[in-house]
Amino acid sequence: MKLYLNTASPYARLCRVLVMETGLAAGTELINTDPWTQSDEFWRINPAGKIPALVLQDGTTLIESTCIADYLIATSRRTDLDVCSSKIAARRLEVLGLARAAMDCAFGTVIQHRFNKDPALADRWLQALSRIIARLDDLHESELRISSPDNRVLEPARCDLADLTVAVALGYVDFRLPDVGWRENAPRLAEWIEILSERSSLAATRLS
């Protein structure tokens, strides 16, 4: 397979993480691509001109990180990564949806600042991002593994697509929007993210 990506993209990073998590890294060629540069060759691969894009051995091309994620999980039969296979699928989908929304808000804010210079729209996305992080903090509070007696956060027993997407989304916020300072208002989520981010797939793809 060939994965077209840009290393600064949160969407592409999520796919890289999943390629590693699913054990498909050895059979996947990573091709760095600048989606902002005119490229007839890449447009033939993905007419939308967006990354990531995954080209399979038979030439089938998957675009959009959600489609790529679903394919990688299904192909590898890693049902533990599939939120819909969970006994609490609705709750996991809630977390996944919020994580995707956080990623979209952060990415949209960066694009607005860089190209469109629309402060009103960027501010709206930043406000939404703060609300989403607060909700994620509330949701994760009830799911964290806590040890006694020192009340430390431990690495979660479960790590699925929702968890990985949260980590990638907030990693992108740290990378591109450090002034958001979300950790102060979500300390438990921040501690959980710090631990989860040491997972090999996340550590190897950390944005810098």
Same domain, 90 and 181: yes
Q: How far apart are the first and last CA of the chain?
A: 26
Distances (CA, A) of 125 to 3, 111, 132, 173: 29, 11, 10, 12
We report the CATH number of the domain holding residue 66 as: 3.40.30.10
- Phi and psi at 200, nearest 5°, equal -55, -40
The residue from 51, 81, 111 where one domain ends is 81
The two three-digit tokens of residue 108, written as one number = 């949209």
List per-residue pLDDT tens for the chain, 208 residues long.
Answer: 999 999 999 999 999 999 999 999 999 999 999 988 878 889 999 999 999 999 999 999 999 999 999 999 999 999 999 999 988 899 999 999 999 999 999 999 999 988 877 788 889 999 999 999 999 998 876 665 444 344 455 455 568 999 999 999 999 999 999 999 999 999 989 988 998 999 999 999 999 8
Classify the C-alpha dihedral 7-83-78-144 as positive or negative: positive
Domain that holds residue 137: 83-204
192 burial type by CB count under 10 A (0-12 exposed, 13-18 middle, 19+ buried)? buried
**In the 8-state DSSP scheme, what is residue 142?**
T
pTM of the model: 0.91
Give the dihedral of Cα atoms 3, 8, 10, 12; nearest 10 deg.
Answer: 0
Same domain, 158 and 132: yes
